[in-house]
Amino acid sequence: MKAKFGHYLRVLGSLYLLLAITTGLAFLPLDAWNWLPSVVIAFVMAGLIMLFFMRLRQSEPLLWLTSASGFAWLSLLMLFVVLDYISRPWPR
């Protein structure tokens, strides 16, 4: 139990660290692009939570696939919607 506790604690520590980084990065003058680093870090944090807190690491491959499917389908939705919006001004 002790070993497990330390293991979870390390994950929590990493999460805290990433939170500090993402918050700090937000103060950089990146203007319209400041979402990019913070969203990347959010994905890393989500990955940590899924792997360790949600115990995906010890789970069968089926669950890996399932956990990815939601994000995969969401990216399809976003991809095609964004495609419409960025190509909308043309041809003028």
On whether the CB atoms of residues 47 and 15 are closer than 8 A, the answer is no
Q: Which of 2, 57, 61, 77 binds another protein (CB under 8 A)?
A: 77
Q: Is residue 38 helix, strand or coil?
A: helix
Residues 6+ apart with CB under 8 A from 51: 57
Q: Give residues in contact with another protein (CB under 8 A).
A: 1, 4-5, 8-9, 11-12, 15-16, 19, 22-23, 26-27, 31-32, 34-35, 38-39, 41-42, 45-46, 49-50, 52-55, 58-60, 62-63, 66-67, 69-71, 73-74, 76-78, 80-92
